[in-house]
Amino acid sequence: MKITPGENLHLALSSVWSHRTRSLLTILGIVIGITTVVTVVSLLTGLRKGIVVFFQELGPDNLFVYRTSGDPNNLRIPPKEQRRRPLRPEYAEIIRRWCNSVEDVGVQLYIPQVTQGRALIAKVPGIDTDDFSLVGNSANMAFISPRDLVEGRVFTPDEDRRAARFAVIGYDLKEVLFPDGEAVGQRVQVDGTEFTVIGVYAKAKGGFLGQNGLDRQITIPLGTARLRYPQVDRFLIVVKARAGLRAQARDELEAALRKVRRTPKGKENDFSISSPDQIIRQFDQIIGVIVLVSIAISSLGLLVGGIGVMNIMLVSVTERTREIGVRKALGARRSDLIFQFLLEAVALTGTGGALGIFFAILSTLLIGIMVPSLPTEVPPWALAAGFATSMAVGLFFGVWPAVKAARLDPVVALRYE
């Protein structure tokens, strides 16, 4: 007697359903393991997408030069970098002259949140906030890292040179300071100095955890920032490479800065050059570590689930000894019995994988609803990998019970009570 694969699958699913409570408890570890991995991967995929969009908006051909390897807004400087000399805005003109692969160079000055012992505060009549950042931009930054505006305009090179007290503010900050109307033409007091708002940036794309610091930023002319904060030296140089020449521009930029800063030959750079793809690669390395940790943790659940499946299949072989004997007496081959019990084990763990994927999608959607600022995206490859892994667990842990069933002596099996 030969049973077709379709009939085998029907028998396997019937066996799982007839003992559904026992089966559910058996595959609980698999459900938890698959849910954990798929959910973590979904959250990290959404997070990475936000980071990629963020840096694409800053300019895919841009290079960023700063004194240290960290964020200019971060006051925590690695110990070995603390003695590095600050960059100077005069380097911009030198880079333009010396680097043929560079199209333009901009300068930004980051003002710390606490300056001269006092915190920065932005005020309008009846409203004040300290939840913002202040940066001075050279006028050409509008070309190097272009951003859309919902109101007004950006400042001109002439306004930068004469240190005009103009400001362009981020979208979220506008909603805080001017919730009832247009911001252009209004006055805002920043750290005791009054600025006229001449523009409002559109909502920035991408960001970390769904939030983009550019949306709560006040941008003033670089000349104004240097005049107002002469003691601050947190300059960031933004270099726009010519199309297709970013690698060459990076080499030229490094050589030019080493020369102008008189860095001895053989000594490491006393400045840091980064690019969007480099930062994304570093983020990918962090994501990789997190995914590996989540896989290691969920593997425990898969191991427990796999052992449970093997145990329940051994019990099933014992319970169905007479059935196995009858099938062998009617001509069933050992390969038929191995296939039947392997298929049953795979059906059991595949059900656990499907449930795990369902709960992962559900939890990802719930997290996206409860925390709108946290981007989420369920990648199809994670669903396929999760389901394939669950079936592989059934295949691996179902081998022993299947082989044991196939090796039963039909005479002994028929006499089993």
pLDDT score at 328: 63
Local confidence band at 129 (pLDDT 50, 70, 90 cut-offs)? very high
Q: Please give the backbone phi and psi of residue 209, each rounded to the nearest 5 degrees, phi first.
A: 55, 35
Q: Is the pLDDT of residue 158 over 90?
A: yes
pLDDT score at 77: 76
Cβ atoms of 281 and 51 within 8 Å: the answer is: no
User: What's the one-letter identity of residue 252?
Assistant: E
User: What's the one-letter identity of residue 297?
Assistant: I
Local confidence band at 79 (pLDDT 50, 70, 90 cut-offs)? confident
Q: Is the pLDDT of residue 342 over 90?
A: no
Counts of helices then strands in the chain (DSSP H, E): 15, 14
Quick one: tokens of 361? 């999608």
pLDDT score at 410: 59
Q: What is d(CA 355, CA 415) in angstroms, rounded to the nearest whole number? A: 39
Please report, for residues 33, 38, 309, the alpha-carbon distance to residue 360 in angstroms, rounded to integers and kept in the order given: 10, 6, 22
Angle between helices 334-370 and 399-406 (to 10 degrees): 160
What integer best gives the mean pLDDT of the chain?
83
Query: pLDDT above 70 covers what percent of the chain?
Result: 82
Cβ atoms of 168 and 179 within 8 Å: the answer is: no
Q: Is the pLDDT of residue 321 over 90?
A: no
- Mean pLDDT (whole number) for 381-391: 87
Of 78-87, 121-130, 298-307, the range with the highest mean pLDDT is: 121-130
pLDDT score at 301: 77
User: What's the one-letter identity of residue 298?
Assistant: S
Nearest residue to 236 via CA among 150, 344, 401, 110:
110
Q: Residues 97, 102, 104, 110: is their CA dihedral positive or negative? A: negative
Q: Kindly report, residue by residue over 51-78, the tens digit of the pLDDT.
A: 777 776 767 788 999 988 877 776 677 7
Q: What is d(CA 145, CA 132) in angstroms, rounded to the nearest whole number? A: 20
- Through-space distance between the first and last CA atoms of the chain, rounded to whole angstroms: 24
Q: Kindly report, residue by residue over 239-255, the tens digit of the pLDDT.
A: 999 988 888 999 999 99
Question: What is this structure's pTM?
Answer: 0.70
Q: Residues 228, 113, 48, 203: is their CA dihedral positive or negative? A: negative
Q: Kindly report, residue by residue over 234-290, the tens digit of the pLDDT.
A: 999 999 999 888 889 999 999 999 999 988 888 888 899 888 777 777 777 877 887
pLDDT score at 404: 74
